[in-house]
Amino acid sequence: MRTLILFVMAMALLGCKGDPKGADGAAESSSNPMANVSDTLVYPGETHFKSIRQVTHGGDNAEAYWSFDSNKLIFQSNYAEWGLGCDQMFVMNATDSFYGEKPPMVSTGMGRTTCGYFLPDNQHILYASTHLHDKECPEVPLRMNGRYVWPVYNTFDIFVADLNGNITAQLTDSPGYDAEATLSPKGDKIVFTSDRSGDLELYTMNLDGSGVKQITNELGYDGGAFFSPDGSQLIFRASRPKTEAEVAEYRELLAQGLVMPTNMELFICNADGSNLRQLTFLGNANWCPFFHPDGDKVLFSSNFEADGGFPFNLYMINTDGTGLNRVTAGKTFDAFPVFSPDGKYLVFSSNRNNGGTRDTNLFIAEWQD
């Protein structure tokens, strides 16, 4: 899911620190995630951010998701200085910052992982991993016939683990891609993406993996789905090949375990798949949507205003398609916006304050409407 970071790096090739810390290198603890903010990382025009605190300092860090009690976050990183060859899962307190020291890893350290998410008990997490197929990191193809592509590994399955990293359950075992799992805020359903039908569609299941139900059924890549705050709706990204050439290209790539994510729009539907409708008509890549706490707006990342692939900025839009406005004002990459369950904070990934490197770090913003 977070592989679009690699797209930003690739496009850059084609087109183109400072929180207080204690003796152990981590920011001093507090019950307030913003207690240690010492200087602003808010750009002019970012009026929804009262303050921002940088969480990680190096590597590619993305897809941070809150625990149900808003006290912890799970995220994925491939930071080489932590001894990682590809993405693994880490858990942190919402007050932590990391300046090189490695946070607790909750995945196996084998294979490649993606899309970690907390279960309602705040003591277990789920994530997708390829480790049952191969302990080594799978290859990451970036281009096919000159076009940027994402790998869709048919060795991904979805697992549950405790906060010590012990796998306690395997939720999927069907051949093919099963990944991108998130939970309803009601704590009763999981939504995920699978190609078990021959196409990349959305499915829901119970927390124990039972009761699998197909939600979407239209040609194209449906993924990155999230429930609304009341659990009644789903927001997700999708490609919709229309012409004969587009359909042929999509099918050819999918047969090779690849998708092309450079043209995606946002779609919204009821949690049972009914009332499906397209939300954005912006062009380019619109992705990683997440509901605003009021349930009537959606935050997402997009490069629709860009000519050369980036910048990606965060935008907000009403669920009826009106009221589009830009939230961030970066020059490179802002993505993966996720509100805390209490609605006070937004965690996101950004290239800001990376010293001119390609590092993508986690940031927590104090949100104001």
**pLDDT value for 38:** 53
Count Cβ atoms within 10 A of the Cβ of residue 295 and give its class: 0-12 exposed, 13-18 middle, 19 or more buried.
middle
Is the pLDDT reported for residue 141 higher than 50? yes
Spell 184-200 as b/e; 16+ CB within 10 A means b: bbeeebbbbbbbbeebb
Strands (E), 23-121: 49-54, 61-66, 72-77, 88-93, 113-118
Is the pLDDT reported for residue 140 higher than 90? no
Instruction: Give the tokens for residue 319.
Output: 């669920």
- Which residues make Cβ contacts (< 8 Å) with residue 248, sequence separation at least 6? none
Q: Alpha-carbon distance 95 to 54, whole Å?
A: 11
pLDDT tens profile 252-293: 999 999 999 999 999 999 999 999 999 999 999 999 999 999
Instruction: Give the tokens for residue 139.
Output: 């290859």
Mean pLDDT for 34-47 is 82
The domain limits of the chain are 4-367
Check residue 56 and report its DSSP letter. Answer: B
Beta strands at 150-151 and 258-259: parallel, antiparallel or unpaired: antiparallel
pLDDT tens profile 303-344: 999 988 889 999 999 999 999 999 999 999 999 999 999 999
**pLDDT value for 39:** 62
* Structure confidence at residue 14 as a pLDDT band (50, 70, 90): very low
How much is the mean pLDDT over the chain?
91
- Assign domain 4-367 to its CATH superfamily: TolB, C-terminal domain (2.120.10.30)
Smallest CA-to-CA distance from 114 within 72, 174, 74, 82 is with 74
Q: Report the 10 Å Cβ neighbour count for 159.
A: 22
Is the pLDDT reported for residue 19 higher than 50? no
